[in-house]
Structure 1
């Protein structure tokens, strides 16, 4: 898309330079102070309705303004077309004029115009119109490419934003699953430790007498009783003598 943009700009500037070169024919410095220039000045006033110096001075200002708009990296359709319209309007009187009469004055006008610009009036006008249309067309094409480029950039940005949102959602879901697993694991560990502690408490609370069998206690008592009876039986007999 960027290459298309660059190509459109290049084409636009080519059209502009062709127009600029054609307009320079109205300012021939090589004929300054000559009779041809003087005759051309009179012919020019007839064709353009203004003196040569004033008209060309304004013309080149308009041309420079148009060039700045077209050569700008950030193309602006409205500004470029506005500058073009200003320049186009300046030539409307000449474009619409018709110098086809055969009287002597018209013939002199044609001759001086041809000598000064090296082009006949109809040829100069037709070529001017051609270059004007070419510049206008290139502006329209560049504007169309610019809109397509902007639309493409916006679409790519939206796709990038959606991809980031999807990735963020996936990461959030993964984080929730991880936290849930960790929580469940902690709960299981807690329940396990609680169960072990309960068993330990039961062992601590077991009665002490359960640790010594009753049979052993009874046997000990019987032995003591038996020993006592035996002691009474084995007492020595006294001699009455």
Structure 2
């Protein structure tokens, strides 16, 4: 199911390495969220991705694969997100892995379905921060990354990833002020409808992930909180 991504306000993020009951998955997929992102850091396997995809496909919600492992790439998703980790010390997370993916898959890639994300990981304790060997940027650095994503790289998405930690709404506001065409995605630490509503004041799209596994009722409330904003 294809929709206009520019109209999205809320997405849920599901980790293929985590267990979710059929009942909870139905609640998530039928919640009114604009899309489901499938992605994770640890133990992301092709089997896990395929199992989750086949379960989500029982519903009409658009589904996105956020690529963190070349071994887990598979057809069948509506969209594919390719992260470029801007604040990594290692060029491979910004350029080399993407280069390998292009060499491997360019003949079958449909660029109408593929979106490159300028990705900024902002929680030092997050597994993704450590795995990609990131440095913690200053606020000035983050604003500059956003400017680069919009004006140098011309990427469609700038993703502020706090990965389990609730971020600074004022910083999100500053970042948003740099972006006119690039969509601002915010993810991290949203556990209540109030937090979702607060971040949606500035971010274009709110991503809710961990809360699905810790408090499904609160996670579901974030959808309407964002849509009403």
The answer to whether the superposition gives a TM-score over 0.5 is no
Q: Give the TM-score of the pair, scaled to structure 1.
A: 0.20
